[in-house]
Chains A and B, each alone.
Chain A
Amino acid sequence: GAGVSQSPRYKVAKRGQDVALRCDPISGHVSLFWYQQALGQGPEFLTYFQNEAQLDKSGLPSDRFFAERPEGSVSTLKIQRTQQEDSAVYLCASSLYLLAGRVKNIQYFGAGTRLSVL
């Protein structure tokens, strides 16, 4: 079906506001990743889900960042009390994980949400 879908595409927040970014992965994909991409840099890992389980959140920069995937499909990345340094593009990626017993960890990326904190 369709690729990874992210919304909104652009978000402007005042410093201190809370924001929620949504990711719809490719249907049937077990694994879901969030990355943060600062201007002119490569994406940096934030967190990883396998189905609804958050197996790795080592990349979340602070406890203001929270991610969930309650039903193992759509995921939301929430940032509380946004700061200017949170301004970046937030990318979501999904991968199939297993196909016929083989790990298929090719990650397919969405277009991202560009967050600007004023």
Chain B
Amino acid sequence: GENVEQHPSTLSVQEGDSAVIKCTYSDSASNYFPWYKQELGKGPQLIIDIRSNVGEKKDQRIAVTLNKTAKHFSLHITETQPEDSAVYFCAASLTSGTYKYIFGTGTRLKVLA
């Protein structure tokens, strides 16, 4: 079945530096890739998403890139701030059928002030 691998599992950066989280998916039919941020005791919140017909998408300090050939997608956070500290999950989905998300195992990001 579909599998999503996510790396690294933990990431510490100094405030103001950039953070990059990488994911790889197995099902070449996947065509929708959301990224979620989860803070302690809360549900996942969508921060950015990308569809397979686009290679890159940016929203202020956050960007996502997609390489369909390699089945890789990445989250880039620039100018990190302490409030960016959280667990980040990537996911892969189809825009047909069940639409269920297959999640990665998460990256705990710690931004050091």
* Chain A interface residues (CB < 8 Å from chain B): 4, 31, 33, 35, 40-45, 48, 55-56, 59, 91, 95, 97, 103, 105-112
Contact A41 B101 (CB under 8 A): no
Contact A44 B43 (CB under 8 A): no
* Shortest Cβ-Cβ A-B pairs, 5 listed: A42-B103, A109-B43, A105-B99, A56-B98, A45-B100
Choose one: A55, A97, A107; the contact of B101 (CB below 8 Å). Answer: A107
Q: Enumerate chain A residues within 8 angstroms of B4, measured Cβ to Cβ.
A: 42
B89 on interface, CB distance cutoff 8 Å: yes
Contact B101 A43 (CB under 8 A): yes
Q: Across the two chains, which residue of chain A brings its CB closest to B93? A: A105
Question: Which one of B14-22, B44-52, B64-72, B74-82 is at the interface?
Answer: B44-52
Contact B99 A109 (CB under 8 A): no
Contact B43 A111 (CB under 8 A): yes
Contact B99 A95 (CB under 8 A): yes
Query: What is the CA–CA distance of A75 and B44 in the complex, to the nearest angstrom?
Result: 19
Contact B95 A44 (CB under 8 A): no
Please name 27 pairs of A and B residues whose Cβ atoms are closer than 8 Å in the assembled complex, sorted by A: A4-B43, A33-B100, A33-B101, A40-B106, A42-B4, A42-B6, A42-B91, A42-B104, A42-B105, A44-B103, A45-B100, A45-B101, A48-B98, A48-B100, A56-B100, A59-B100, A91-B43, A91-B44, A105-B32, A105-B99, A106-B46, A106-B49, A108-B46, A109-B44, A110-B43, A111-B43, A112-B43
